[in-house]
Amino acid sequence: MVAATRSNTQTRLLAAAEKILVEKGLTGLSVRKVGEQAGVNATLVTYHFKSISNLLEELCQINLDPILARWSQIGGAGNASQDFDDILEIWLEALLLPSAITAEGRALVVLDEIIAHGEGSLRQSVLEPMEQFSERLRSALAPFCPHLHQDELRARVRFISGAALGPPPRGDGSPLAGVGNPLDDLDCLLNFARAALRG
């Protein structure tokens, strides 16, 4: 569903579901709780989306699409001249994008919840494009990391992605390092990624 064609009630329901997902996880999501969080009758969830599964599919898509759009700038014939830092910045900036509707969370946290606890087809709708991108990313990075075997490069890319996600709890914005910058500060992540891939 395109944002322009979404009604105010649909947007409120999606925002409510997204907030619950970010703060309490997928297991905290139900028709009743979405209705309560949105301040509307819970039957409007089924009226507008038919089921909580359909609402989740919509929520998944609106959080995934902006990430994939950024990642489309990496690899491929048109992007052959990218340098190492360009690739890292595009990749990691996308992982830090805010959630689609609510200001409190990040899109990656929403998607991580869906991957961890979603049903098969919904989980696959996130995993498949992410795995395809991971292959393209590793191909783009490989010339800059000739010292890394393919399996080692895959492992390091995964660890860097985990660092971008951050440790739980993730519901109240950026995880803090105790003092100083949040753990998902882009400069911190870029420095970590450079060290992990070039070290």
In the chain, what are the domain boundaries? 56-198
Q: Quote helix, strand, coil % in the chain, to nearest 5.
A: 70, 0, 30
* Residue 170 in this model has a pLDDT that exceeds 80: no
20-56 pLDDT tens trace = 998 888 888 999 999 999 999 999 999 999 999 999 9
Bond prior to 169 in cis (omega within 30° of 0): yes
Q: From the centroid of its chain, how far is CA 88?
A: 16
Class of domain 56-198: mainly alpha
85-118 pLDDT tens trace = 999 999 999 999 999 998 778 999 999 999 998 8
Instruction: Specify the 3-state DSSP secondary structure of 176.
Output: strand
From 34, 32, 11, select the one nearest 21 (Cα to Cα): 34
109-120 pLDDT tens trace = 999 999 998 888
Instruction: Enter the tokens of residue 73.
Output: 């700038």
Query: pLDDT at position 100, please?
Result: 94
d(CA 13, CA 74): 34
* Residue 174 in this model has a pLDDT that exceeds 80: no
Q: Are 96 and 164 in contact (CB under 8 A)?
A: yes
**What are the backbone dihedrals phi and psi of residue 182, each rounded to the nearest 5 degrees, phi first?**
-65, 155
| Block residue for tokens 């322009």 | 4
